[in-house]
Amino acid sequence: MHPRTATYSIVARDPAIDAVGVAVASKFVSIGSVVPFAAADAGAIATQSYANVAYGPKAMHLLRDGYDASTVVERLTQADEDAPDRQLGVVGREGSVAAFTGADCLDHASHRQGENYTVQGNLMESREAIDAMATAFETTAKGFPERLLAALQAGKAAGGDRRGERSAALYVAKPGGGYDGKNDRWIDVRVDDHDQPLDELD
């Protein structure tokens, strides 16, 4: 079994700008290469703990086919014999939200949903970090990317990853958001190996 990407993340949607995105932090180096997947015409997913990176493209395919986030989570985990080790959060571009925390994810592991978002974490210092992330996203009066980053910073301030953080990433997709308007990759920023990855990402 590969190392667990003990991680905390937020997956969210901003209907005002038609964007979806993921922000994530972990002790695991280069977490941005593992956890976040997003597409403006589908939605977004964070796959973590003993991460199954195949969940990313599979989730995008299912979302494009019209399945809501709950059905996507159900289909991914039911077909996976290692589902008890997985954690994931999914948001559809139409606003559906769902998450899954396997029974074998390392404590503290949980998730929480609200309107247009889900936050999830494993190997966290406490449940309070999950709640702090949700509150920060709901109450921060800034743009969508800044709200995603505020959620990460709040999670860290409430204890974050029990081992500390080494990498972080922010990935946001929206129609025409990429270079010259030719793709949807609006924001794709990673800090792969740093003593203070959240401050560096911010």
The string of pLDDT tens digits covering residues 67-123 is 999 999 999 999 999 999 999 999 999 999 999 999 999 999 999 999 999 999 999
Average pLDDT of span 41-67: 98
Does pTM surpass 0.75?
yes
Residue 2 lies in a domain: no
| Average pLDDT along the chain | 96
182-199 pLDDT tens trace: 999 999 999 999 999 999
Q: Which of 122, 105, 124 is nearest to 162 (CA)?
A: 124
pLDDT score of 1 more than 90: no
pLDDT score of 129 more than 90: yes
Residue 194 lies in a domain: yes
Ramachandran sector of residue 43 (left: φ over 0; alpha: ψ -120 to 50; beta: rest): left
Domain range for 106 is: 7-201
Q: How many domains does the structure of the chain reveal?
A: 1
CA 20 – CA 144 distance, rounded (Å):
9
Residue 161 lies in a domain: yes
Give the pLDDT score at 202. 87
Give the pLDDT score at 125. 87
Residue 1 lies in a domain: no
Average pLDDT of span 156-167: 92
Q: pLDDT class for 3, splitting at 50, 70, 90?
A: low
CA 19 – CA 21 distance, rounded (Å):
7
Give the pLDDT score at 4. 59
Residue 84 lies in a domain: yes
pLDDT score of 5 more than 90: no
Percent residues over pLDDT 90 in the chain: 93
CATH number of 14's domain: 3.60.20.10
Tell me the three state secondary structure of residue 5.
Answer: strand
CA 52 – CA 195 distance, rounded (Å):
26
